[in-house]
Structure 1
Amino acid sequence: MKKYFILYKPFLFFLATFFLTYIALTFLYQEYLNSFGENKLDRITQLVGQNTKQVMQLFDKSATVEENTLEPYIKLFYSQKYVARIIEGCNAISVIILFVAFIVAFSGKLKTTLLFIFAGSVLIYVLNVFRIAILCFLMFNYPNQKQFFHGVLFPLFIYGVVFILWLIWVNKFSRYASKTTKE
């Protein structure tokens, strides 16, 4: 048994670090959400809604958002038509937590790790805002394809970006990359 532990120690260390980071960040995020109380929208989701409106207004000045007062979501309007809503799960924080947990588990130098986490998180946030805006345009023009756009195409896009960031990290900046490039 000890032989297998030694053999798989790097993998087990990766798993332990990944899950501990993921659980800790998820716990902290849940505490953040709980601080707003029931049926109150958190500030990050509000910011995503405002940023999405700004992107949509580049194409249609009449694009607006409206916070629902009874339930925690934001209504998105395009050409005076209600096309979508933004809920807490649309703000990409859970995707960012997943991204960060992986980077921490495959960490490299502290400064490089922190810079990559910051830059990657900002990129994911910005791409998510554009994803929501484009989704609204598509749902306005192709309402029958809503399930495909929301359930398949755009999750594939956002998780694809995260996967590419992970590949860049592992191949260029992680401890593993630095060991292989020296050989």
Structure 2
Amino acid sequence: MKKHKNVVIFLIKFFATYFILFAIYAKYLQNSQQKEDTFKTASITTTVAEQTVYVLEFFGFHADYRQHKEELSVKLLIDNIYTARVIEGCNSISIIILFIAFIVAFAGSIKATIIFSILGSLFIYVINIFRIAFLTVMIFKYPNQQEFLHNLVFPAIIYGTVFLLWVLWVNKFSNYKK
């Protein structure tokens, strides 16, 4: 019976954390995005695009970003060629919410849970910036591979990172470690 109790507690903690964080994020999006008359993405999405451009420029590319005028996205340009776009789902916040919900559900000490959640979230955010920059360059160089890059390589990087962080958390820091 204890085994089932642990599963139920895990699920309650996971979904409670997930829905609370998601509700806060949804409210933020509602207040920060603009879909009428002119499009304006949430500031976090624009910031991700801007930071991606910094990474691209660091590696020697002539890059820029612009708010898309016809949809809720930010265009990424290399050599003034519209190469990729950053939408709300690309800013890593949704995946960070999922990451934190798992960490809280598999909690360790309060201090470890808070520190790992913050550091893990920052790590995911930074990996995401580099992932978008990588994808943008690859699409620029190999436009015929866009579907493969976006649908397989792109998610594998971010979800692989999150999975490895979860494994590290459970095995080293959570109260469930062996």
TM-score by length of 2: 0.93
Could you tell me how far 1:58 is from its partner in structure 2?
Answer: 1.3
Matches within 5 A, 1:79-90: 79-90=79-90
- Give the equivalent residue in structure 2 for 1:44: 44
Is contact 1:60-1:78 (8 Å) kept? no
Aligned 8 A contact 1:135 1:150 in 2: yes
Calculate the aligned-residue CA RMSD, in Å.
1.2
Match of 1:16 among 12, 15, 19: 12
Greater mean deviation of Cα atoms: 167-176 or 78-87: 78-87
Say whether 1:33 aligns with 2:66: no
Separation in 1, partners of 2:171, 2:33: 42
Unaligned runs of 5+ in 1: none
**What's the CA shift string for 1:32-78, capped at 9, x where partnerless?**
00012432311110110110000000123521111124432111111
Q: 2:55: which partner in 1?
A: 55
Worse-matched range after superposition: 124-133 or 62-71: 62-71
Q: State whether residues 103 and 169 of structure 2, in contact with CA within 8 Å, keep that contact through their aligned partners in structure 1.
A: yes
Q: For the Cα contact (< 8 Å) 2:15–2:101, is it kept in 1?
A: yes
Where 1:125 maps in the other structure, the secondary structure is helix
Match of 1:119 in 2: 119
Once the two structures are superposed, the pairs formed by residues 1-183 of structure 1 within 5 Å of their partners are 4=1, 6-39=2-35, 40-177=40-177, 180=178
Could you tell which deviates more after superposition, 71-80 or 81-90?
Answer: 71-80
1:22 is displaced (CA, Å) by 0.7
Q: Which runs of 4 or more aligned residues in structure 1 lie more than 3 Å from their structure 2 counterparts after TM superposition?
A: none
C-alpha distance in structure 2 between counterparts of 1:164 and 1:144, whole Å: 30
Unaligned runs of 5+ in 2: none
Paired letter, 2:121: S
Question: Does the 8 Å CA contact 1:76/1:86 hold for their aligned counterparts?
Answer: yes
Counterpart-to-counterpart distance in 1, 2:45 and 2:101: 21
Which protein has the larger Cα radius of gyration, Structure 1 or Structure 2? 1
Deviations 1:65-114 (A, max 9, x none): 11124432111111221101111111011100000000000011111110
Number of residue pairs matched by the alignment: 174
Which letter does structure 1 place at the counterpart of 2:14? F
After superposition, the C-alpha distances for 1:129-179 in whole angstroms (9 at most, x for unaligned) are: 0000000100011111101110111101110110000000000000112xx
8 A Cα contact 2:33 2:42, kept in partner: no
TM-score after normalising by structure 1: 0.91
User: Cα distance 1:132–1:174, how it changes in 2: closer, same or farther (>3 A)?
Assistant: same
Please tell me whether the aligned partners of residues 44 and 91 of structure 1 are also in contact (alpha carbons under 8 angstroms).
yes
